Amino acid sequence: MRIPYIAGNWKMNMTPSQGAALVKELAKQVKGCNAKVMVAPPFVTIPAVVEAAKGTNIIVAAQNINEHDSGAYTGEVSCEMLMDLGVGNVIIGHSERRIIYKESDELINAKVLKALSHNFDIVLCVGETLEEREAGKLEEVLSRQVNVGLKGVTASQMSAITIAYEPVWAIGTGKTATPEDANKAHAFIRSLVANLYGKKVAEETIIQYGGSVKPSNVKELMACEHIDGALVGGASLKAEQFVPIVRCGVLE
Ligand code: PEP
């Protein structure tokens, strides 16, 4: 049974006071909901959000980590620092990290292994650019991102890994993959996980869809066999948009 998992990536939005206020509002409105709910604030906003989320069902995650434990890495944040704040979840390999900050599959894999070594739960993002999709490279790109991203991850560690399929051309653009296209990509990702870890692990792996998810399109996406949740950017910044998305993930 795959529990629906709805996550909000706040990106570089929300000051500490804005973030705390949003989480208090979300907590009121998603109380008792049996979907897994996560928000990922910017680093400096995390302490206020952790405080506001105490005693609620909202998980607080980081948007990134460094692949080292400590040292001369100016501007970076380690797993240990996050753990000290009570954070044990992280998004790794978001397309904005891959494209703007030139994170390679190998670096992303090092971050995955580092996070697992500290018992973090991870949302590992994968997805093709429009250019790659139009060149017929969808499966090649997803295979590389999944196989390299998960290199050295054991079958038992896969319970800590959620995969987010986020076609880059659908992020923040208002364009959503059709449910059929998204489901096809999710099924392919599940087959990659099955090749690596066997059918049982693949059946248990949560695969989120991300890319302009809104209250108006979440239902048809979530109805697809292989779509188990959503990673939401823009629509996670307002309770009136994020709550209906979370509610759609509620188990009947
Ligand atoms: C994201 O950043 O992961 C994302 C999917 O953004 P948006 O929902 O705004 O497209």
Altogether, the residues listed in the chain come to a count of 252
Global confidence as pTM: 0.97
Q: How far is the CA of 25 from the centre of ligand 1 (A)?
A: 21
Instruction: Kindly report the protein residue whose alpha carbon is nearest to atom 8 of ligand 1.
Output: 233
Q: How far is the CA of 91 from the centre of ligand 1 (A)?
A: 12
Token pair in block for residue 104: 């390679």
Which residues are catalytically annotated?
94, 166
The domain segmentation of the chain, as residue ranges, is 5-248
Instruction: Kindly report the protein residue whose alpha carbon is nearest to atom 2 of ligand 1.
Output: 233
Would you tell me which CATH number, out of the four given (3.40.1350.10, 2.60.120.20, 3.20.20.70, 3.40.50.300), belongs to the domain 5-248? Answer: 3.20.20.70
Q: Note down pLDDT in tens along the chain; length 252 residues.
A: 899 999 999 999 999 999 999 999 999 999 888 899 999 999 999 999 999 999 999 999 999 999 999 999 999 999 999 999 999 999 999 999 999 999 999 999 999 999 999 999 999 999 999 999 999 999 999 999 999 999 999 999 999 999 999 999 998 888 888 999 999 999 999 999 999 999 999 999 999 999 999 999 999 999 999 999 999 999 999 999 999 999 986 654
